[in-house]
Amino acid sequence: MNRIIEFFQLAVRQVSRRRIRVILTVAGIAIGVAALVGTVALGDGIRTQAVEAIRTQSDLTLLEAIPGVEGNIVYLVTPTRVSAIEMLPGVKASAPMVLGTFTTRGQTYVQVVGIPSGSLGAVLNPSYLRGSAFSPGSTEVVLGAELGEKLQRFEGVRIGDPLVLLRRSYDARGRPVDEEITVIPVGIVGERGDEYDQALLMDLDLALSLGDGEEGFSAVLIRAEGPERVFQVAEGVKSLGLSPRGSFEQIEAVNRMMDMVVIFLGIFAGLSLIVGGLMIASTMITSVYERTREIGIAMAVGASEGDVMKMILAECAVLGGIGGVIGDLLGAAVAGLLNTLGGPFLASRFGDAFAGLLDTEIALVSWPLLFAGFGLAVGLSLLAGLYPAWNASRLNPVEAIRSGR
């Protein structure tokens, strides 16, 4: 350990003797690190804002397991798979459902969702603008917020009024036949911001009695224990041959997009780091040439080839460390500038759609990112110094001393 400390002390002295050259060399590394930190911070910030927007605007813990397709095989939602989903880790509640399509006498399209009455509250967590949930085994139904408003405005349907639903089928001769069913709306669900705002909810047994679900359930509604368990539940659904669907897909899409953006921009930042590494290699090659006699004397008095390599690599590490620290500071400063000016700029250019960015961080700098930038600078500097260090260790002490440099 003492030996290593001595190498670094010697490296600091050597670096301090060539200040102008060191400043130019360190600048190359610092610019590369700053570009990398700023790029990744911007990508992480945008990713975080997008994910938080999805969390705020969507019911992230609600998933649907729909029939899966693998090649020519279709995996239906059977009672056995419904029971298996209930046992998956991270599942708080689940309920099978069937879907049907009806119209009203006023030609309003209605998407009917049949779900067990006992599972409605646990899975969908509905809040009611008016009325209450439907009773099991009855013809009572609950309307989504947008559907309830539409039926009330254009067809005068109110809570407690009979509502006739029509579904067209065709007889053996191909003639259209309208099947009628009368239901009683007993509640209107508060706005959710998803497809259930347009749906009519009824008891699963009633939906099955109408002929829906003849080929198995349409899907299984799943309530995960928390946002952090959603992806685990989705993987469990996939393991059963079914396809998970929900707001988490938007997060996956955002992550994929931002990964590509960060990688693309990171390539340009990486080019700056490579240029900085080449500058370190050039500096150290020049340094070894100028200190040939000094290195020869050190080897003549007992320094091994390994000691010479460590001495040169220690200088590279010092240069990389200085560049890494300065680059982290510059990157954090760029991120701070983006956070200060970026939000107001976007809000002024694009209006209210970006007004929420005024009080948020567009670029997100984290300690792991700073440590990664520092480590990359030091690692690249050591890599760039391998050839100069090896070249120095291969010097002949006698010839090195005679060189006079």
Q: Tens digit of pLDDT for each residue in 125-178? A: 889 999 999 998 899 999 999 999 999 988 888 999 899 998 877 666 767 677
Q: Are residues 264 and 355 in the same domain?
A: yes
| Co-location of 91 and 220 in the same domain | yes
First-last CA distance in the chain? 31
**pLDDT for the residue numbered 353:** 47
- Last-in-domain residue among 225, 246, 267: 246
Confidence at 199, pLDDT banded by 50, 70, 90: very high
188 versus 277: which is more confidently predicted? 188
Of 303, 325, 323, 326, residue with least CA distance to 315: 323
Residue 26 clears pLDDT 60, i.e. is over it: yes
Task: Average the pLDDT over 285-311 and give the result.
Answer: 81
pLDDT at 344: 67
pLDDT at 356: 54
Residue with tokens 């000016």: 341
Q: CA quadruple 58, 61, 67, 70: dihedral positive or negative?
A: positive
- Residues 123, 21, single domain; the answer is no
Helix 19-57 vs helix 367-384: crossing angle, to nearest 10? 140
Q: What is the pLDDT of residue 288?
A: 79
Same domain, 97 and 148: yes
* Cα dihedral 147→148→152→157 (10° resolution): 110
Measured distance CA(124)–CA(306) in Å, rounded: 68
Report the alpha-carbon distance of residue 284 to residue 391 in Å, rounded: 10
Range of the domain at 360: 2-56+252-402
Shared-domain flag, residues 365 and 262: yes
The answer to whether the CB of 188 falls within 8 A of the CB of 142 is: yes
Confidence of residue 75 (pLDDT cuts 50, 70, 90): confident
225 and 126: one domain? yes
Residue 25 shares a structural domain with residue 102: no
Residues 78 and 171 in one domain: yes
Q: Which of 246, 266, 293 is the last residue of a domain?
A: 246
More confident: 28 or 84: 84
Query: 44 pairs with which residues across the strands?
Result: none
| 23's tokens | 């400043």
Confidence of residue 359 (pLDDT cuts 50, 70, 90): low
* Residue 374 pLDDT level (bands cut at 50, 70, 90): very high
Same-domain pairing of 97 and 52: no
Q: Is the pLDDT of residue 310 over 90?
A: no
What HEC string does the chain produce? CHHHHHHHHHHHHHHHCCHHHHHHHHHHHHHHHHHHHHHHHHHHHHHHHHHHHHHHHCCCCEEEEECEEECCEEECECHHHHHHHHCCCCEEEEEEEEEEEEEECCCCEEEEEEECHHHHHHHHCCCEEEECCCCCCCCEEEECHHHHHHHHHHHCCCCCCCEEEEEEEECCCCCEEEEEEEEEEEEEECCCCCHHHHEEEEEHHHHHHCCCCCCCECEEEEEECCHHHHHHHHHHHHHCCCEEEECHHHHHHHHHHHHHHHHHHHHHHHHHHHHHHHHHHHHHHHHHHHCHHHHHHHHHCCCCHHHHHHHHHHHHHHHHHHHHHHHHHHHHHHHHHHHHHHHHHHHHHHHHHHHHHHHCCCCCCCHHHHHHHHHHHHHHHHHHCHHHHHHHHCCCHHHHHHCCC
Distance CA 362, CA 339 (A): 5
> Which domain-ending residue is among 190, 221, 246?
246
Q: What does the pLDDT look like over 205-227, one tens digit per residue?
A: 898 888 765 667 899 999 999 88
- For the cut 80, the answer to whether the pLDDT of residue 192 exceeds it is yes
Q: If you average pLDDT over residues 291-305, what whole number do you get?
A: 80
Comparing 53 with 373, which gets the higher pLDDT? Answer: 373
- Section 324-343 average pLDDT: 86
State whether 179 and 319 are in the same domain.
no
Domain count, the chain: 2
Residue 404 confidence (pLDDT): 56
Is the same domain home to 315 and 376? Answer: yes
Instruction: Please indicate whether residue 13 or residue 84 has the higher confidence score (pLDDT).
Output: 84
Residues 146 and 241 grouped into a single domain? yes
Six token digits for residue 102: 């009806």
Question: Does residue 296 have a pLDDT over 50?
Answer: yes
